[in-house]
Amino acid sequence: MKIIAISDSHNKHNELCIPPGDVFIHAGDATNIGRIHELQSFSAFVNSLPHPHKIIIAGNHDPCYEQYNFCDFFHNAHFLVDECIVIDNIKFYGSPWTPAHWAYHCEKDSLQDKWQNIPHDVDVLITHMPPAKILDFDVNAHKHQGCKYLAKRVQQIQPKYHIFGHVHSNGTHQWNRTTFINASVCGNRYQLEYPPSVFYL
């Protein structure tokens, strides 16, 4: 299975060259402020992709997903909010939460309860939030922005892959049995800097 993952495209989706594959993942912040014209543009882009399976989660810049019915805009795509989907015996789990204000946010201490919902047998974990101290350093804020509770949960369950974004510092990191991918395609100035991430299962 060939999987293509991006995050934090911030309305730059039409400038991307998306490789072919079996599964397309967007890990949040498809828009800037979640207006309906942004949602319409992004959904048209996703609908045009030839990938047989498409998985979308929200980010803190995507209040449109809270305001509109996902199925009214997207065709043949899965929108995950603390949910699983199994594709060819591979279990994907998506969760959009961050402590940041705006869409899909909650208090930092409440995040621990969210992460406890992640199944122990998930193969590909998709969150908008990064885990603490893994590809989470925010150059603009000069600090790590990841969640310690998420890092603890990932260490417990050790999925094969953990895909995330939120912090615009694209990269890959291996820890125990898990490959971590920060799939952000935009850099710190919200301009495209990185290609889509590609991996195989």
Q: How many domains does the chain have?
A: 1
Question: Per residue in 132-142, pLDDT tens?
Answer: 999 998 877 77
> Please, what's the b/e burial string for 177-187 (b: 16 or more CB within 10 A of its CB; e: otherwise)?
ebbbbbbbbbe
Question: Per residue in 72-119, pLDDT tens?
Answer: 999 999 999 999 999 999 999 999 999 977 899 998 888 999 999 999
Q: What integer pLDDT is reported at residue 138 of this predicted model?
A: 85
Give the domain range for residue 128. Answer: 2-200
Predicted model pTM = 0.97
Which one, of 42, 15, 19, 10, lies nearest residue 198 by Cα?
19
Contacts with 117 (C-beta within 8 Å, 6 or more apart), sequence order: 82, 95
Rounded to an integer, the average pLDDT of 138-160 is: 92
For residue 166 the two structure tokens come to 């939120």
Contacts with 197 (C-beta within 8 Å, 6 or more apart), sequence order: 4, 5, 6, 163, 170, 172, 181, 183
- Identify the H or E element spanning 4: strand 2-6
pLDDT higher than threshold 90 for residue 180: yes
For residue 100 the two structure tokens come to 């940041």
CATH at residue 120:
3.60.21.10
Mean pLDDT of the chain: 96
- Identify the H or E element spanning 48: helix 36-48
Contact assessment for residue 65 and residue 102, using Cβ atoms and an 8 Å cutoff: no
**What string of H, E and C letters represents the secondary structure of 93-143?**
EEECCECCCCCCECCHHHHHHHHHCCCCCCCEEEECCCECCCCCEECCCCE
CA dihedral sign of residues 35, 78, 114, 183: negative
CA dihedral sign of residues 18, 21, 22, 23: negative
Q: Coil, helix or strand for 83?
A: strand
